[in-house]
Chain A
């Protein structure tokens, strides 16, 4: 079955460049989440989208990070002027409306900033 997909699976970039990470949630899931996992750390909440409501951006670490969700489906996480500390695995998850307790995760994008 179609799960959550993310692209690219790996991204290597140079410090100062912008990157875009893409997430395709499970069809029909209204909630979408972005997390990141830095080396030796747990999953860190970044941003949450629910339907047409304003997203909860409280987890974004700086204004270099932004995310959009177009048409209530695909989401893009953009990191501007990347820094080495942005290197991490970025995970996207989706869940059906009202069921936060079972989030379905994608395989993640491993970002390496040189």
Chain B
């Protein structure tokens, strides 16, 4: 039973446009969410996080939105750059103090030049 779901395995976006990656979760006890980015042959790298007390967190070109009622979060990348092409994983945990993250299956983003 996938508690964290990324239903789009892949996404292609034109350079300069907005990339929107989506993530849904089923466990209402999750209250901390993260996005990781992974390039081929490398480990995932932390990108951005959000606590359930917020509905938006922004860091440069990256913004994460959280809709608790819909149990949905999304990552917006604006403007998208070719270097953003990677696999993006969302992850959730029961509190910001726990190390047990539940990861989604990832979405492969391809930014076309």
Question: Given contacts A31-B99, A33-B99, A42-B89, is CB(A102)–CB(B46) below 8 Å?
Answer: yes
> Once the chains are docked, how many angstroms separate the CA of A101 from the CA of B97?
8
The contact sample of 12 A-B pairs, CB cut-off 8 A, is: A40-B105, A42-B4, A42-B106, A43-B91, A45-B100, A45-B102, A93-B43, A101-B96, A104-B46, A106-B43, A107-B42, A107-B43
Report if A91 contacts B (CB, 8 A): yes
Interface residue tally for chain B (C-beta within 8 Å):
26
**Inside 8 A of A95's CB, which chain B residues have their CB?**
99
Question: Which of B49, B101, B105 is the one whose CB lies under 8 Å from A45?
Answer: B101
Does B44 lie within 8 Å of A43, measured CB to CB? yes
Number of A-B contacts (CB under 8 A): 60
> Once the chains are docked, how many angstroms separate the CA of A48 from the CA of B93?
15
**Inside 8 A of B4's CB, which chain A residues have their CB?**
42
Report if B45 contacts A (CB, 8 A): yes
Distance to closest chain B CB from A49 (angstroms): 10
